[in-house]
Amino acid sequence: MKTVHIAKVEDLDRIAHIDKEVSGNTSRLSYFKTSIDLRNCIIAKCDKEIAGFLIYETNFFDCAFISLVVISPSYRRKGFASLLLDYMMSQSPTPKVFSSTNRSNLSMQKAFDSNGFIESGIVENLDEGDPEIIYFKSKE
């Protein structure tokens, strides 16, 4: 059974573990803790296991900005990114939601496209040779 809810401090270790599976390090641990404390971290579960998480901020021109969507490799392509994005849109504290991904990240681009986000610009020079594509969706 798939569920989605706001992360709690007891979810921190599993969130960090998933991030390490994907990124290879634990450098974002304090960022995750702060996001959980601010209630800006959303988790998706399959039964009782955390399958992935989404972190957002609200300081992007007074709009929500999804800064991370991370799905455990063993739960990819099973609808968890869509579940998180849908929950975010239904609960967003702002009417406009933005996010971004590298041009090389085709799976995230596909997730944004299939969830109704539209391209809203490109930022060069963040990652050398791999521009960042900005996405936008209005809260329905």
Q: 122-136 pLDDT, tens per residue?
A: 999 999 999 999 999
Domain residue limits at 17: 2-138
Residues 6+ apart with CB under 8 A from 35: 7, 41, 55
Residue 128 amino acid letter: E
Mean pLDDT value of segment 70-84 = 96
pTM score = 0.95
Closest by CA position to 111, among listed 99, 96, 125: 99
Tell me the per-residue pLDDT of 5-24, one tens digit each, with 9 for 90 and over: 999 999 999 999 999 999 99
Per-residue pLDDT of 90-140, as tens digits, reads 999 999 999 999 999 999 999 999 999 999 999 999 999 999 999 999 986
Rounded CA separation 126/90 (Å): 30
In this structure, what CATH number is given to the domain that contains residue 103? 3.40.630.30
Give CA–CA dist 65/54, Å, rounded. Answer: 11
Q: Quick one: pLDDT at residue 102?
A: 96
Please count the structural domains in the chain.
Answer: 1
